[in-house]
């Protein structure tokens, strides 16, 4: 009897010790903020790797694809309001700057000595309002903070364009505050969305700007996927293994 009890306790200990010990994963998208989701996927060295899929609390698929060390890689399927778009993600890496970011396969990288990263939509002049930029703002003479940059950027957009809607947030994640401007405005007699995030890495201020004429929820999902898979100085800008806290800015 004692031997049976011993083996039962051993089996229970093995079962509990082998349970999935991955930290909770948080899912973020513009108009569909979900604090936590059901996931299928592996984490190695605190980064997503291999085949992944995301489900809401009712087991409805949100997205699925492949991660490579925290970066989306290749074709991903999304489910948005009964529409199932497929997006193909690529990885840009600059080893000298310790920088990497996801971008979509139908964008082209634009040579740019002033910004860390610049991509525009294929067959589209980036001056026409469709682009992704990552920039380091702080230098030896300019010590602007992320909150100030966020205000100045909004003032600049107001000065040059007709504004339709403005949403401003402070996203706190892993002890980092990211100041978000989400602005719908008129440019070239057409509605555009701009997503602009200001944040601090190692006492330097950076921003990530995404401008698009796609007014659907997909544009916000794309943007948040990008900033979740952006590493500056080898530091992840926002990390979905830590909770997101939103407040108004």
pLDDT at 122: 63
The pLDDT confidence band at residue 142, using thresholds 50, 70 and 90, is confident
Amino acid 189: pLDDT: 87
| Structural domains in the chain plus CATH codes | 18-248 (3.40.1000.10)
Please spell the DSSP secondary structure of 145-212, one letter per residue.
-HHHHHHHHHHHHHHHSEEEEEEEEEEEETTEEEEEEEEEEEETTEEEEEEEEEEEETTEEEEEEEEE
Contact (CB, 8 A) for 168 and 240: no
Q: How far apart are CA 96 and CA 126, in angstroms?
A: 25
Least confident range of 8-22, 74-88, 134-148, 228-242: 8-22
d(Cα 195, Cα 201) in Å, to the nearest integer? Answer: 19
Q: What is the C-alpha separation between 44 and 22, in angstroms, rounded?
A: 10
User: Which residue's structure tokens are 């089996």?
Assistant: 11
**Model confidence over 5-22: pLDDT tens digits?**
444 444 444 444 444 444
Predicted pLDDT of residue 112 = 86
Q: What is the DSSP letter of 80?
A: B
> Buried b vs exposed e over 42-58: b needs ≥16 C-beta within 10 Å?
ebeeebbbeebbbbeee
Query: Which pTM value belongs to this model?
Result: 0.86
Find the mean pLDDT for residues 112-129: 75
- pLDDT at residue 247, as a whole number: 85
The per-residue pLDDT for 32 is: 53
pLDDT-derived band at 80, boundaries 50, 70, 90:
confident
Model confidence over 31-73: pLDDT tens digits? Answer: 555 666 788 999 999 999 999 999 888 888 999 999 999 999 9
Residues 143 and 149 sit within 8 Å (Cβ to Cβ)? no
The mean pLDDT value for 182-197 works out to 93
Distance CA 172, CA 45 (A): 23
Q: Is the pLDDT of residue 197 over 80?
A: yes
Burial, 111: exposed, middle or buried (Cβ in 10 Å; 0-12, 13-18, 19+)?
exposed
pLDDT of residue 222: 93
Give the three-class secondary structure for 8. Answer: helix
Q: Which has more confidence, 82 or 206?
A: 206
Report the alpha-carbon distance of residue 34 to residue 31 in Å, rounded: 9
The whole-chain average pLDDT of the chain stands at 85
């Amino acid at each position: 009897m004692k031997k049976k009890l011993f083996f039962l306790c051993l089996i229970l200990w093995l079962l509990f010790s082998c349970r999935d010990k991955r930290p909770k994963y948080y899912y973020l998208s513009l108009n569909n903020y979900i604090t936590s989701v059901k996931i299928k996927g592996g984490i190695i060295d605190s980064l997503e790797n291999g085949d992944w899929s995301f489900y809401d609390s009712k087991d409805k698929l949100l997205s699925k694809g492949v991660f490579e060390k925290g970066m989306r890689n290749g074709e991903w399927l999304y489910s948005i309001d009964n529409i199932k778009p497929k997006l193909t993600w690529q990885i840009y890496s600059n080893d000298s700057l310790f920088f990497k970011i996801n971008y979509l396969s139908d964008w082209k990288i634009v040579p740019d000595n002033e910004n860390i990263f610049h991509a525009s939509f294929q067959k589209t002049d980036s001056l026409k309002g469709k682009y992704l930029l990552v920039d380091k703002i702080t230098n030896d003479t300019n010590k602007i903070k992320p909150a100030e940059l966020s205000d100045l950027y909004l003032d600049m957009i107001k000065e040059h364009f007709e504004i339709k809607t403005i949403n401003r947030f402070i996203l706190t994640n892993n002890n980092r505050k990211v100041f978000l401007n989400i602005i719908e405005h008129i440019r070239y007699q057409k509605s555009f969305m701009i997503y602009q995030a200001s944040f601090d890495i190692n006492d330097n201020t950076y921003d990530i700007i995404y401008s698009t004429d796609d007014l659907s929820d997909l544009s916000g999902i794309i943007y948040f996927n990008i900033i979740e898979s952006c590493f500056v100085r080898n530091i992840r800008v926002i990390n979905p293994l830590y909770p997101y806290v939103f407040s108004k800015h």
